[in-house]
């Protein structure tokens, strides 16, 4: 590494303006469905349709809450909506009752409150085989957030993300590569419990757990996210594009700058690609220092 690069990395971090702003999200009922109410003349049918419309609105809101956004369009670079929309904290009545077990997570004002609200989570089948629920670790006001796929064996045993061999490599990237301390950044995973045999998390498991990650991001409010590995990148960006096409270029997750790169576990198997990760990390360092050089 050139001396000038090392000096740059040790320079104080400049905190740029936040990228998150309140969302203007609202559930919309398709116009065609609204028009169709006019052809119904029997009051009971209208009432039934009104019930269906209400159910549809609530269903779409629930889909949004678990990260399914295809009906609304996914976030684009430069978009400035909050990770958690205001509507998500304003649920009431029947829907609030249906989701009463998770409503506390949406009302959490701190990471500690969120962790307490998640509790001994049994919301998906990964709960049955875990040793520890691995919530996340680091600075609750970090500028930089790393997001991986899910806990491995070491993480499951210790209850902390990225503590095994891959975790040591990530720590080296943070400390030796970026000149930061591990406690300066925030580290989390898409799912909080270890998938058996380290398989990829399944869609229903991601749908159950992703709201917790979204809330973590909303509370930490990082300016930059580094997404580690194919699964985290594809989940956050809602894409099937290969990591080889996505890494090294800036993307956006709800208005937050996101840099995809390879997972440290992949680098342990493919050390020749460390130079590619270093290229990605250098772009993040440059962004954090506000340099156009
Ligand atoms: S993976 Fe997430 S949703 Fe599933 S049990 Fe663990 S904390 Fe709950």
124 lines ligand 1 (CB under 6 A): yes
At 9 the pLDDT is 45
Q: What is the Cα–Cα distance from 10 to 13, expressed in whole angstroms?
A: 8
At 106 the pLDDT is 79
Residue with the smallest CA separation from ligand 1 atom 5 is 127
Q: Which two tokens stand for residue 224?
A: 């930059």
Q: What is the fold of 103-289?
A: Uracil-DNA Glycosylase, subunit E (3.40.470)
Cβ proximity of 144 and 288 under 8 Å: yes
The domain spans of the chain are 103-289
Q: What is the Cα–Cα distance from 33 to 221, expressed in whole angstroms?
A: 38
Cβ proximity of 236 and 133 under 8 Å: no
Residue 90's nearest CA partner among 47, 31, 27 is: 27
Mutate to test the pocket of ligand 1, among 192, 204, 216 (most ligand atoms within 8 A of CB): 192
At 74 the pLDDT is 37
188 lines ligand 1 (CB under 6 A): no
Helix (H) or strand (E) holding 257: strand 256-261
Q: What is the Cα–Cα distance from 88 to 83, expressed in whole angstroms?
A: 10
C-alpha to C-alpha distances, 35 to 30, 38, 42, 225, nearest whole angstrom: 9, 6, 15, 43
At 105 the pLDDT is 80
Q: Measure 64 CA to ligand 1 centroid, in angstroms.
A: 18
Q: What is the Cα–Cα distance from 206 to 193, expressed in whole angstroms?
A: 11
At 85 the pLDDT is 53
Mutate to test the pocket of ligand 1, among 209, 210, 215 (most ligand atoms within 8 A of CB): 209
At 45 the pLDDT is 54
205 lines ligand 1 (CB under 6 A): yes
At 107 the pLDDT is 87
At 290 the pLDDT is 83
Q: Which two tokens stand for residue 86?
A: 């205001």
Residues in the chain predicted with pLDDT less than 70, given as ranges, are 1-102, 291-293
At 91 the pLDDT is 34
**The sheet that has 137-138: what strands, in order across it?**
137-138, 186-189, 144-148, 224-228, 256-261, 251-253
Q: Measure 128 CA to ligand 1 centroid, in angstroms.
A: 10
At 210 the pLDDT is 93
Q: What is the Cα–Cα distance from 112 to 101, expressed in whole angstroms?
A: 17
117 lines ligand 1 (CB under 6 A): no
233 lines ligand 1 (CB under 6 A): no
Residue 19's nearest CA partner among 61, 73, 75 is: 75
Residue with the smallest CA separation from ligand 1 atom 6 is 193
* pLDDT (tens digit per residue) in 215-243: 999 999 999 999 999 999 999 999 999 99
At 149 the pLDDT is 97
Contacts of 110 (CB under 8 A, 6+ apart): 140, 219
Q: Measure 98 CA to ligand 1 centroid, in angstroms.
A: 18
């Amino acid at each position: 590494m050139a001396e000038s690069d090392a000096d740059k990395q040790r320079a104080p971090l400049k905190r740029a303006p936040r990228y998150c702003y309140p969302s203007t999200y609202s559930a919309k009922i398709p116009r065609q469905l609204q028009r169709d109410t006019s052809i119904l003349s029997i009051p009971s049918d209208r009432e039934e349709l009104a019930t269906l419309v209400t159910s549809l609105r609530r269903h779409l809101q629930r889909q949004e809450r678990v990260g399914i956004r295809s009906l609304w369009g996914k976030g684009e670079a430069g978009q400035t909506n909050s990770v958690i929309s205001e509507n998500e904290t304003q649920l009431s009545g029947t829907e609030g009752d249906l989701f009463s077990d998770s409503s506390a997570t949406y009302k959490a004002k701190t990471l500690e409150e969120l962790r307490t609200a998640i509790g001994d989570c049994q919301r998906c089948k990964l709960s049955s085989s875990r040793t520890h629920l691995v919530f996340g670790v680091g600075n609750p006001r970090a500028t930089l957030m790393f997001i991986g796929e899910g806990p491995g064996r070491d993480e499951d045993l210790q209850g902390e993300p990225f503590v095994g061999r891959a975790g040591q490599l990530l720590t080296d990237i943070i400390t030796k590569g970026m000149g930061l301390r591990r406690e300066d950044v925030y580290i989390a995973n898409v799912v909080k419990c270890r998938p058996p045999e380290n398989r990829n998390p399944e869609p229903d498991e991601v749908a159950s757990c992703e709201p917790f990650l979204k809330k973590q991001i909303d509370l930490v409010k990082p300016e930059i996210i580094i997404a580690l590995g194919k699964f985290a990148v594809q989940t956050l960006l809602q894409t099937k594009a290969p990591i080889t096409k996505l890494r090294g270029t800036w993307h956006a997750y709800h208005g937050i700058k996101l840099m995809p790169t390879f997972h440290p576990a992949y680098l342990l198997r493919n050390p020749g690609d460390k130079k590619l990760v270093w290229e990605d990390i250098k772009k993040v360092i440059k962004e954090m220092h506000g340099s156009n050089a």
